[in-house]
C-alpha cells in the first residue's frame, strides 16, 4: 500500500453537500492550513467513524492526531489556537471584530440553517433518496425534513430578512462585512448559509442579485477568494479511505498537551475529573447517539472525554473527544 499521511495531522471527515463541512473546509483554505479528507456518505452507517469509536452523527468531524473535535464552531476555535496567525497561515479572527463574528455565527447556526433546510427543493437528489430521508427522520427524533407549503413560505420570509440584514451591513460599499481588506471570520460565519441557499437556486422573485445586489456580490467575492486560496495549494487536498485514515489517527500523538486539560470543579454540574459521562447535542442528532467516556476536561466552553478504541491489531488506543458546551449536554453515568 502506498504511503499516506495527513498534513498537520488533520483529517476532516465530511461529505461534500454538508454546509457545515464546507464552512470548515473554507476556513482551512483561507488560512492555508493543509489537511487530508476522508469523505463520508450523507447518512448512517459511517463505519469510518465507528472505527474511531465516535457515536456523534453529524458532519463534519475533525481529527488532529488523536484529538477528535465535533461541531464546526469548536473546530474553528481550536484551529485558531493551534495555528496562530502567521505569514504562512494568515489569520481570519480579529479581536475588534470578534463580537460581530459571534453574532453572525449565532444568526447562521441557530436561525438560518433550519430555515434553509425547509427550502431544499423537492427535486434535489437527496430529497428523493429514501435512505437519506429515513436517516434525517431518525436524526430529528421522528420529524422528517420535508416542509409543508406553509413552512416553506415562512422560511422564505425568514431568509429574506436575513438577506436584508446582510445587505444593510454592506450598505456603505465595503467589500467585506467587518470592513477588512480581506475576508475575515465575520464573512465566513455569515456567508455559509447564504451560499447554501443560493446553491439551491431559490425562486428569483424572492432571492436574486437584483433584489439583494450587495449580498450577491459579497457572496461572489467570497467564493472567488476561497477558489484562489484553494488553487494556491498546488498539492490539493489528499483524500483518504477509512482504511488509510483510521491508523493515521489512532497511531498519532495527541495534538493538545495534556497539562492544558483540567476540570473546573466550580462548574454548575459539579463534575469531577475521572467520572464517566455521556456527551451529546441537544439540537438534533443526540436522541440515540451519545458518546461515553472518562471526563478529563471541562470549562465554560468545552468538554473533553477520553474514549478507548480497539485498533486493527486488537490493541486498545485512547482518543480524546472534544465538544462545545453550547447546545450540548453532559450526563453523569451512574455506577
**What pLDDT digit, counting tens, does each position of 218-241 carry?**
999 999 999 998 766 656 899 999
CA distances to 42, 120, 166 from 216, rounded to whole Å, are 28, 19, 10
Strand, coil or helix: 291: strand
Q: Which residue has the cell 472534544?
A: 322
Q: Which residue has the cell 466552553?
A: 301
Which pLDDT score is estimated for 2? 62
Which pLDDT score is estimated for 139? 76
Helix/strand number for the chain, H first, E second? 10, 9
Question: Cα separation of 218 and 186, whole Å?
Answer: 12
Spatial neighbors of 332 by CB under 8 A, at least 6 apart, are: 269, 271, 275, 276, 277
Backbone angles phi, psi at 293, to 5 degrees: -170, -175
CA distances to 49, 111, 285, 327 from 141, rounded to whole Å, are 21, 20, 8, 16
CATH number of the domain at 7-88+236-332, please?
3.40.30.110
pLDDT digits (tens, 9 = 90+) for 69-122: 999 999 999 999 999 999 999 999 999 999 999 999 999 999 999 999 999 999
Spatial neighbors of 156 by CB under 8 A, at least 6 apart, are: 119, 202, 206
Question: Cα separation of 230 and 16, whole Å?
Answer: 15
Question: Cα separation of 192 and 198, whole Å?
Answer: 10
Backbone angles phi, psi at 305, to 5 degrees: -125, 155
Which pLDDT score is estimated for 14? 98
Distance between alpha carbon 62 and the CA centroid of its chain, in Å? Answer: 9
Distance between alpha carbon 84 and the CA centroid of its chain, in Å? Answer: 20
With contact defined as beta carbons under 8 Å apart, do 303 and 280 qualify?
no
Which pLDDT score is estimated for 142? 64
Which pLDDT score is estimated for 110? 93
Domain map of the chain by residue range? 7-88+236-332, 95-229
Residue 268 in grid coordinates? 454548575
Question: Cα separation of 264 and 240, whole Å?
Answer: 37
pLDDT in tens, the chain (335 residues): 567 899 999 999 999 999 999 999 999 999 999 999 999 999 999 999 999 999 999 999 999 999 999 999 999 999 999 999 999 999 999 999 999 999 999 999 999 999 999 999 999 998 998 999 888 887 766 677 789 999 999 999 999 999 999 999 999 999 999 999 999 999 999 999 999 999 999 999 999 999 999 999 999 999 999 999 876 665 689 999 999 999 999 999 999 999 999 999 999 999 999 999 999 999 876 678 899 999 999 999 999 999 999 887 778 999 999 999 999 999 999 87
Which pLDDT score is estimated for 232? 65
Question: Cα separation of 219 and 28, whole Å?
Answer: 18
Which pLDDT score is estimated for 205? 97
Report the candidate in 65, 86, 44 with the shortest Cα–Cα distance to residue 288. Answer: 44
Report the candidate in 246, 286, 248 with the shortest Cα–Cα distance to residue 55. Answer: 286
Question: Cα separation of 113 and 110, whole Å?
Answer: 7
Does domain 95-229 match CATH 3.20.20.70?
no
Beta strands in the chain (DSSP E): 10-14, 36-39, 61-64, 67-70, 276-281, 291-298, 302-310, 316-324, 328-332
Amino acid at each position: 500500500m502506498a504511503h499516506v499521511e495527513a498534513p498537520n495531522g488533520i483529517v476532516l471527515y465530511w461529505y461534500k453537500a454538508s454546509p457545515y463541512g464546507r464552512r470548515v473546509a473554507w476556513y482551512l483554505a483561507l488560512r492555508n492550513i493543509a489537511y487530508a479528507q476522508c469523505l463520508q456518505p450523507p447518512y448512517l452507517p459511517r463505519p469510518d467513524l465507528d472505527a474511531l469509536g465516535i457515536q456523534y452523527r453529524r458532519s463534519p468531524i475533525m481529527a488532529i492526531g488523536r484529538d477528535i473535535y465535533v461541531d464546526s464552531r469548536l473546530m474553528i476555535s481550536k484551529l485558531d489556537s493551534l495555528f496562530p496567525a502567521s505569514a504562512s497561515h494568515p489569520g481570519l479572527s480579529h479581536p475588534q471584530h470578534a463580537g460581530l463574528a459571534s453574532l453572525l455565527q449565532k444568526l447562521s447556526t441557530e436561525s438560518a440553517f433550519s430555515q434553509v433546510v425547509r427550502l431544499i427543493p423537492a427535486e434535489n437528489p437527496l430529497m428523493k433518496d429514501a435512505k437519506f430521508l429515513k436517516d434525517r427522520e431518525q436524526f430529528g427524533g421522528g420529524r422528517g425534513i420535508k416542509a409543508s407549503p406553509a413552512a416553506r413560505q415562512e422560511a422564505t420570509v425568514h431568509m429574506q430578512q436575513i438577506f436584508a440584514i446582510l445587505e444593510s451591513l454592506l450598505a456603505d460599499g465595503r467589500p467585506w462585512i467587518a470592513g477588512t481588506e480581506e475576508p475575515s471570520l465575520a464573512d465566513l460565519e455569515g456567508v455559509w448559509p447564504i451560499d447554501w441557499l443560493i446553491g439551491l437556486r431559490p425562486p428569483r422573485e424572492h432571492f436574486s442579485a437584483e433584489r439583494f445586489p450587495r449580498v450577491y456580490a459579497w457572496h461572489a467575492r467570497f467564493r472567488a477568494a476561497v477558489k484562489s486560496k484553494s488553487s494556491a495549494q498546488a498539492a490539493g487536498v489528499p483524500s483518504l479511505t477509512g482504511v488509510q485514515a483510521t491508523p493515521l489517527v489512532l497511531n498519532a500523538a495527541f495534538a493538545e498537551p495534556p497539562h492544558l486539560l483540567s476540570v473546573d470543579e466550580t462548574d454548575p454540574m459539579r463534575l469531577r475529573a475521572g467520572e464517566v459521562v455521556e456527551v451529546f447535542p441537544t439540537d438534533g442528532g443526540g436522541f440515540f447517539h451519545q458518546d461515553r467516556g472518562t471526563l478529563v476536561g471541562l470549562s465554560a466552553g468545552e468538554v473533553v472525554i477520553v474514549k478507548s478504541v480497539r485498533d486493527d491489531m486488537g490493541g486498545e488506543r485512547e482518543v480524546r473527544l472534544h465538544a462545545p458546551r453550547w447546545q450540548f449536554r453532559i450526563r453523569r453515568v451512574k455506577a
